[in-house]
Amino acid sequence: MSDMKSAEAPGHTKTYSIIVNGRPREVSDHKLTYLQVVQLAYPGEVPTETIVFTVTYSNPHGHDGSLTEGQFVVVKNGMIFNVRKTDRS
Distance of alpha carbon 51 from alpha carbon 57, whole angstroms: 20
Would you say residue 42 lies in a domain?
yes
What CATH number should be reported for the domain holding residue 23? 3.10.20
Would you say residue 70 lies in a domain?
yes
pLDDT digits (tens, 9 = 90+) for 52-78: 999 999 998 888 999 999 999 999 999
pLDDT > 50? residue 6? no
pLDDT > 80? residue 16? yes
The total domain count for the chain is: 1
What does the chain come to in residues?
A: 89
Are 20 and 53 spatial neighbours (Cβ–Cβ below 8 Å)? no
Distance of alpha carbon 88 from alpha carbon 14, whole angstroms: 38
Residues 6+ apart with CB under 8 A from 78: 17, 18, 19, 59, 60, 61
